[in-house]
Amino acid sequence: MSASSVGTPPFTPAKALPFISNLQILRAVAAIIVVMFHTLKTVQEYGFGPDDIFVLRQWGYHGVDLFFVISGFVMVFIQAGKVRSQADFLINRVIRIVPAYWLLTSFVFALLLVAPNMFRMLTASWPLFLSSMTFTTFLLPEDFGPPLLYVGWTLEYEMLFYLIFATSFFLDGWTKKFVFQFFVLSILTITGVTSFLVYEFLVGELCAFYYLSGRRLPAPMIVLALGVVGMNLPFMIESHIPVSIAEYRALFFSLPAALVVLGAAFTRQTSSRPLITIGDASYSIYLIQILTIGFFCKLFSRFAPGMPAPIVTLATVGGTIVAGLLFHLLLEKPVATWLQRLRAQLAQTKAAPAIVATQ
């Protein structure tokens, strides 16, 4: 199979694809609002008040939608920028996702073995640990609950999407690839393996097709603003429309997320190094919350039980961002860099005998 048949897009970029820094910032926003969602839930469970701030939890629902739409966009974008084989694509995704997730999952499991009461809703279960490490907890009975890192359920969808996306490379042309992905995801949804959320990856791909087609997006800032307004719409009319029903999510969550992603991609890109750094660390921020939220809430409940909920919330979210940045800079990024170098060295070692043989 030639490289061109593996991933040639239906467009030919006139120059090297630019780095879309705004999407990195959006990843940070998505991670932070998910952290806010889980923080407010935990703050409420610990009895902090007043209750007015808890209305902000509604924004957390959009974090996952943004993540999935961005993921679909990025997969097409990176494949258009550099055509990769199926193996090359999947190895890059594994290096990006797996090490940090495995490290934190193993750490949480070790804590459960040493101190079983450290986490209120987790127990040290070997089946759950093994399925968490292999991104397959959706195959377990419901009694086992979500992965040890509760945010891992979204990563299971991500890894499933990566596999389907890479499998589609055997087809020529992005239209055929897209139809194949839609067909497979539809079967998985109909059979109950996944939910309607998986279609948001395809929504992200459509956004990328438009971005890379060479067309302009009129008034991208207005499109971005419409997306933000659309995100708030369900909560303005929640008494009239059952937004919790999965079928409604495409209209009230996926479409606004697509508008936000398109608007952010086409508008002027940020050059703020601090914001881009937070965006780079969004994955670590997203994962580390499993440890930081409970830690800060326990800290406040013990030493400042009368602290207002807004202060506890802001301190917890801020602390999680800082912890995520440190985890990214000290562990996630160095490990990924080392693995990429190791991979390059192994490739050179493998290629050396072939070069000698041809001389």
225: confidence class by pLDDT, cuts 50, 70, 90: very high
CA distances from 97 to 91, 123, 253, 319 (A): 10, 24, 25, 23
* 59 or 274, greater pLDDT: 274
Question: Which among 255, 249, 252, 256 has a CA at the least distance from the CA of 237?
Answer: 252
Q: Is 125 helix (H, G, I), strand (E, B) or coil?
A: coil
Q: Are 69 and 257 a contacting pair, CB within 8 Å? A: yes
Kindly give the interhelix angle for 255-266 and 21-45, rounded to the nearest 10 degrees. Answer: 140
Q: What does the longest C-alpha to C-alpha distance in the chain come to?
A: 77
The mean pLDDT of the chain is 86
What percent of the chain is modeled with pLDDT above 90? 58
Q: Is the pLDDT of residue 357 over 60?
A: no
Give the pLDDT confidence of 289-336 residue by residue, as tens digits: 999 999 999 999 999 988 988 899 999 999 999 999 999 999 999 999
pLDDT score at 52: 66
Give 339-358 as a DSSP string.
HHHHHHHHHHHHHHHHHHHH
In the chain the first and final C-alpha atoms are separated, in Å, by: 26
At residue 14, the pLDDT reads: 41
What pLDDT, on a 0 to 100 scale, did the predictor assign at position 46?
Answer: 87
DSSP string spanning 157-201? HHHHHHHHHHHGGGSSSHHHHHHHHHHHHHHHHHTTSS-GGGHHH
Evaluate whether 160 touches 198 at the Cβ level (below 8 Å). yes
Average pLDDT value for residue range 1-27: 62
CA distances from 172 to 28, 87, 164, 178, 248 (A): 34, 17, 15, 11, 33
Domains of the chain, by residue range, sit at 25-37+57-273
Over residues 123-144, mean pLDDT: 86
Q: How confident is the model at residue 236 (pLDDT cuts 50, 70, 90)?
A: low
